[in-house]
Amino acid sequence: MKKQNVSVMGVILVAFMIIGCAQASGLLEQSMVPDLKSYELDGLYVTTDEKQMNGVAKDHVKLAVGESVVIYARGNSTEGKWFKLPSSVAVTWKADSELKVTPASGHTVTVRVVKPICTTAYVTAVTTAKNGKKIEALFTIEGKK
Q: What is the CATH number of the domain that holds 122?
A: 2.60.40.1080
pLDDT at 51: 94
Range of the domain at 15: 1-33
Greater pLDDT, 144 or 126: 126
Confidence (pTM) = 0.73
- pLDDT grade, residue 140 (50/70/90)? very high
Whether residues 49 and 78 fall in one domain: yes
* CB within 8 Å of 73: residues ≥ 6 apart: 44, 45, 46, 85, 91, 107, 108, 125, 127, 137
Q: Based on the fold, state whether residues 45 and 90 are members of the same structural domain.
A: yes
Indicate if 48 and 25 belong to the same structural domain: no
Please give the tally of structural domains in the chain.
2
Name the phi and psi angles at 96, rounded to 5.
-65, 165
> Distance between CA 114 and CA 6 in Å, rounded?
83
Instruction: Quote the pLDDT of residue 14.
Output: 65
At 83, the pLDDT band (50, 70, 90 cuts) reads very high
Is residue 81 a contact partner of residue 67, using CB atoms and an 8 Å limit? no
Let me know whether 124 and 53 are in one domain. Answer: yes
Please write the tens of the pLDDT for every residue from 31-70: 333 333 567 899 999 999 999 999 999 999 999 999 999 9
The answer to whether residues 87 and 137 belong to one domain is yes
pLDDT digits (tens, 9 = 90+) for 96-137: 999 999 999 999 999 999 999 999 999 999 999 888 999 999
Task: Tell me, yes or no, whether 74 and 14 share the same domain.
Answer: no
CA 30 to chain CA mean position, Å: 21
